[in-house]
Structure 1
Amino acid sequence: MNNQGIGTWISRRRRRSADAIALTSSGSSLSYADLASRIARLANALAARGVESGDRVAFLGNNHPAFLETLFATTTLGAIFVPLNTRLAAPEIEFALEDSGATTLIFHAELQPLARAGAWTSAVTRRIIIEGEASTAVEAYEDVLASGADVDHRATVTLEDPAIILYTSGTTGHPKGAVLSHGNLTWNCFNAIVDYGVTADDRVLLISPLFHVAALSMGALPMLLQGGRVVLHERFEPSEVLRAVEAERITMLSGVPTTFQMLQEHPNWESTDISSLRTLTCGGSSMPERMIEAYEKRGLAFSCGYGMTETAPGATAMPPQMSTHKIGSSGMKHFFTDVKIVDEQGAELPPGEIGEICVSGPNVIRSYWRRPDATANAFMDGWFRSGDLGYFDDDGYIYISDRLKDMIISGGENIYSAEVEGVIMEIPEVSGVALIGVPDEKWGELPLAVVNLAPGTRLTTQDIIDHLTGRLAKYKIPKRVEFIDELPRTASGKVRKAELRAEYV
């Protein structure tokens, strides 16, 4: 077998840790031997149904063992895994399926209406349902898996081959498919293992969706590579998280500031035994000082980091022992990754000077799926241009000064203004719109739409929301709309969002 890809990891781990628990979900557990067997069967079953190297297999579902089984089975074949965000609207699902050219869709029964609507005009020819009944057009997941042989599939896969296409909303509207190679994911795991000290004795509780690269690549994959245990929760429920931390003796927990805030504010926080916790990783936005102090009282420190889908996703990470000394920082460069700050001409800047953050390393993508224009614009002299602004201090710790001008992070979800603005502009009465983020105690930020109406027309906030409902994911829909006579613009016609932020934020 000449397969260097991530698809072989569980099979290789079975040789060393056959009886160790790999996955725990909904009260049931799978050993590495059990998981390897199920992956092998699914891989062979998919191959028998025509899935070949380079084909795309899409997955629409919440945190469930089938997500990881499908990922490993698909990549074992040299095919490409396409995880879909379950929070998207049907047109967004449809775009991802069409753009990726996925021919197989595996989906959870509770998402069947979304799967049907999203795959209506796509190239999907094979549909497999999880925890649902088969029909003439859909096969049952467990039946498919049972039909495959428990033998390792023979395929040639290199570290340079694509493993996953992850769709990330673009600043120009349509999402872009970031192509993560087997090497990108492997090196990102090395970064996590080195900088977080992941071992076979660790147990990670995943409360963020696996279709987000952080949960998958910083939580599940490093843990399974090392032979540790992954505990999956389909949804985030603070009481269940606290119960699981105590009962499962969780050592590693990842989330965004909102999730950690909700845990700390829960009535069971003080009474829960969290002594097993060793590593808390946080991304999405900076951790408020009051939250750092609240967890420090329980003997815990955060390792806040910075990254993006295109870096698989780790670029920097904070050593936990420095979290209170470098408040506001997103840490240091990951072990195998390089980061620099440059000016508008691409010249590297010294510590203390703000510029664009650029990233290089074996964990950085080489391209977007079928988007040579976007790929060319994203790189400068081999470095990935993040579009984010920041600076290093004299000790090598990075501070993020600003994000992409038009991006809002709400509860860990990225909201790109251009995408939402484009849908609002479909309304005939709207002559101009600008989306900005306003601070929110719970979610970090919430989207606010500032709308300019055509003369003599009238709309309400509910009219805007009604138009967006069903067209965009719920988290992208503004919770507040302000109507304004005229949007402030530059001489070239661009909206001066800084003025809007100054007024409304």
Structure 2
Amino acid sequence: MTNDTIVDRLRSNALAHPDKLALVCGPQRLTWAEFDARTNRVSNALLENGLKKGDNIAVISANSVAYAELFIGILRAGGCVTPLSSMASPDALQKMLTDCGATAIFVAEQYFGLVEGFITSMSLSRFAIDFTHPDFMDYEATLAQAPETDPMIALEMSDAFNLIYSSGTTGTPKGILHNHQMRAAQMDRVTPNGYDNNARTLLSTPLYSNTTIVAFLPTLFGGSTVYLMPKFDARGYLEIVAAEKITHTMLVPVQYKRIMDVPDFDSFDLSSMQIKFSTSAPLRAALKADVLARFPGKLVEYYGLTEGGGVTVLVADEHPTKLHTVGQLAPGNDICLIDGEGNEVPQGEVGEICGRGPTMMAGYFGRDDLTADYIWRNSAGDIYFRSGDMGSFDADGFLMLSDRKKDMIISGGLNIYANDLEMVLLQDVDVTDAAVIGVPSDAWGETPLGMVVLREGASRGAEDILAQANSTLGKSQRLSAVEIRETLPRSTIGKILKKDLRAPYWEKENT
């Protein structure tokens, strides 16, 4: 593993090739020298405003050059980057800021409405990234007054790096703390994945997501170029790949689906693409096969958690018969599968995935109790993180996901994995998206309900979709009904928001 912090390496990269492109977002293009100078200005501005080492500095913004500058500038000043989800409610955002004790926040105009109702009552420095407000300092004006010399703050591997709040659309937020050691460990994948070979990495998921960060940081660490999209759209994505000769990308499954569905996809020159990554949600086997057939470059799927722990990797083009899996253990990682009592399950059986490896969080911020609940220990006393995901290993050591533990449906005392039912629904030629949830049932406690999005021009109805699915499902798995929806609610990294889907049915039950 590298002995350099990411900040150390970025400093070296700017000295080594100052005129090389570091960052591109729309019409804005920064060389490494320019990026280095502006991140130094961010650092010095924060230090002049009283930042102390380890302070949490919050950011809420769409992807932008400023966001990238802030991310690295906060680290360079010795702060902890606290990127906030733009999908969170104002109440959840206020709880996050209170929980972490942020000493400053940087806000983009697009999301000002989310914090407007409470932010001026909080004791923290406020900066407006791209607008003016009497209660906020102007970002560009502040940077203009700060020196561009490197503050050379000494950093230790044990120092806080970032604080990412999980989900957080509603309820009590939970901060996942990563330190410099954890992020440095992830840099072992830089050379094997070619991030240090003049990579041009296109990122279109938000920078508050670990999905984005795990490609953003290696590209910069490798001295290459990051291209940011403020907002994803499939055609715009393909246009950038073709025009900028993109070599690397990180996408989530819903983005792959939208890209492959662009009617004239095959007309774009994508020959520059060397390697495409996928994570955050399962990439369906049929979609993997389509990507392999039509989208140039390698396809690599990662399974892992923001908290860290066990990681698996599927190099899809090398294992075409394993597309229904999320691959094999990454080097240095281990996964055990356990039952409800915490005992390991036999080979081939489904259990909760517990993992350990070189990239594990420092803990839930300020919540030792939650961190303790997250830990499972094997017979030797080794610490594993509980994922809440259910899965099994095949005979070749490839991990197959079944479902989230909390999404498992218990009907008549039997466990039903929604993922199994969703795969059946998605095999229907008229279905383009699907989700299965458990809804209340007098007879069974709960019963599976399917929700589907139909392809344009489909003439079949819900009863037809239901009949076809149930004809292939086992008797204990059968859907009680199918509903047709125009869309399914998803997070900005493509995860179906099942909590939102379930709420109306269970709220009725509880009233």
TM-score range, shorter chain: 0.7 to 0.9
Distance 1:341 1:195, change over 3 A: farther
- 1:205-216 correspondence runs (5 A): 205-216=202-213
The offset of 1:443, in angstroms, is: 5.5
* Amino acid in the other structure paired with 2:109: A
Quote the Cα distance in structure 1 between the aligned partners of 2:146 and 2:408: 44
User: Match of 1:403?
Assistant: 404
* Residue 342 (structure 1) aligned to one of 338, 342, 347: 338
The offset of 1:238, in angstroms, is: 0.9
* Residue 283 (structure 1) aligned to one of 266, 279, 283: 279
Superposed CA deviations along residues 398-446 of structure 1, whole A, max 9, x for unmatched, are 11122132499xxxxxxxxxxxxxxxxxxxxxxxxxxx99958556548
Quote the Cα distance in structure 1 between the aligned partners of 2:53 and 2:24: 30
Q: Contact (CA 8 Å) 1:447, 1:480: kept in 2 or not?
A: no
The offset of 1:169, in angstroms, is: 3.7
Is the aligned partner of 1:256 residue 2:252?
yes
* Residue 178 (structure 1) aligned to one of 176, 179, 188: 176
Quote the Cα distance in structure 2 between the aligned partners of 1:44 and 1:285: 39
Superposed CA deviations along residues 6-60 of structure 1, whole A, max 9, x for unmatched, are 3343222112222211111012211111111101111011100111112110000
- 1:109-258 correspondence runs (5 A): 109-119=109-119, 121-123=121-123, 125-133=124-132, 135-169=133-167, 173-190=171-188, 192-193=189-190, 196-217=193-214, 219-258=215-254
Is the aligned partner of 1:293 residue 2:300?
no
Q: Contact (CA 8 Å) 1:279, 1:301: kept in 2 or not?
A: yes
Superposed CA deviations along residues 453-482 of structure 1, whole A, max 9, x for unmatched, are xxxxxxxxxxxxxxxxxxxx9966449944
Quote the Cα distance in structure 1 between the aligned partners of 2:50 and 2:349: 54
Quote the Cα distance in structure 2 between the aligned partners of 1:195 and 1:383: 26
The offset of 1:335, in angstroms, is: 2.5
The offset of 1:68, in angstroms, is: 1.9
Distance 1:24 1:79, change over 3 A: same
Distance 1:363 1:321, change over 3 A: same
Aligned length: 434
* Amino acid in the other structure paired with 1:56: N
The offset of 1:110, in angstroms, is: 2.0
- Give the SS at the match of 1:405: helix
Distance 1:127 1:447, change over 3 A: farther
The offset of 1:485, in angstroms, is: 7.8
Distance 1:180 1:305, change over 3 A: same
- Give the SS at the match of 1:294: helix
- 1:343-362 correspondence runs (5 A): 343-344=339-340, 346-349=342-345, 351-362=347-358
Quote the Cα distance in structure 1 between the aligned partners of 2:339 and 2:24: 47
Distance 1:89 1:449, change over 3 A: farther
* Amino acid in the other structure paired with 2:160: P
Q: Contact (CA 8 Å) 1:187, 1:336: kept in 2 or not?
A: no
- Unaligned 5+ runs, structure 1: 409-435, 453-472, 488-505
**TM-score, normalization by structure 2:** 0.77
Q: Contact (CA 8 Å) 2:126, 2:137: kept in 1 or not?
A: yes
The offset of 1:63, in angstroms, is: 0.7
The offset of 1:352, in angstroms, is: 1.9
The offset of 1:195, in angstroms, is: 5.3
Quote the Cα distance in structure 1 between the aligned partners of 2:263 and 2:147: 49
Q: Contact (CA 8 Å) 1:93, 1:119: kept in 2 or not?
A: no
- Give the SS at the match of 2:66: helix
User: Match of 2:394?
Assistant: 393
Is the aligned partner of 1:76 residue 2:76?
yes
Superposed CA deviations along residues 271-309 of structure 1, whole A, max 9, x for unmatched, are 111111121211233222332232222245531221111
Quote the Cα distance in structure 1 between the aligned partners of 2:304 and 2:180: 18
Q: Identify the structure with bigger relative contact order (alpha carbons < 8 Å, sequence gap 6+).
A: 1
Q: Contact (CA 8 Å) 2:197, 2:222: kept in 1 or not?
A: yes
Quote the Cα distance in structure 2 between the aligned partners of 1:407 and 1:308: 19
Quote the Cα distance in structure 2 between the aligned partners of 1:278 and 1:204: 10
- Give the SS at the match of 1:132: coil
Q: Contact (CA 8 Å) 1:25, 1:231: kept in 2 or not?
A: yes
Q: Contact (CA 8 Å) 1:195, 1:335: kept in 2 or not?
A: no
